[in-house]
Homo-oligomer: A and B are copies of this chain.
């Protein structure tokens, strides 16, 4: 086993990330299925980990609470996005750096999609989950604000700039996802995201 652990630790990053994404997805799916079957109030972390066949400790490597597993909130997603923004060429305009980072985020969205319907059904049945969902949006947008502020040397509390750019970016992403879903996911999401950001970069003139 020790040998196996070392082998997997030395495995290429792509495979390890894929394995982690699979575990995260399995936990989310188990949480949603159990909540829809037995009710949100009855759901425990123990039941989720039993259904997904992992330890409770593993669960808390991925999520801070059952709500986080149910809602698809993902602190890692915000961290990844911030890292991608930081990695863009320093002379690239901020809106172009966000366009590239959000398009990269869009690449990972297709996988989680089948859970969205289940999540909407759960929100219909347990409207108290809208609060944590909303809180997750706020945390995500705040991380975009900070990524913009770090890149541009702005003060997010004194300057409108980082906040308005982040709100516009998150809004553009949201609208691209809504169009993608409404269109039966026929157009590739990253392309829609790039089109939406091009509207921002063009001063929202009608194309």
Residues on A facing B (Cβ under 8 Å): 93-95, 123, 127-128, 130-131, 133-134, 152, 154, 157, 160-161, 163-165, 167-168, 170-172, 174-176, 178-179, 182, 192, 195-196, 199-207
Within 8 Å CB of A204, what residues of B? 94-95, 164-165, 168, 200-201
A185 → B minimal CB distance (Å): 15
* A203 contact from B161, B182, B200, Cβ within 8 A: B200
Copies in the complex: 2
Alpha-carbon gap, A186 to B149, bound state (A): 23
Docked-complex contact B160 and A175, CB < 8 angstroms: yes
- State whether A164 and B172 are in contact (beta carbons under 8 Å apart), knowing that A130-B130, A203-B200, A203-B203 are contacts in the complex: yes
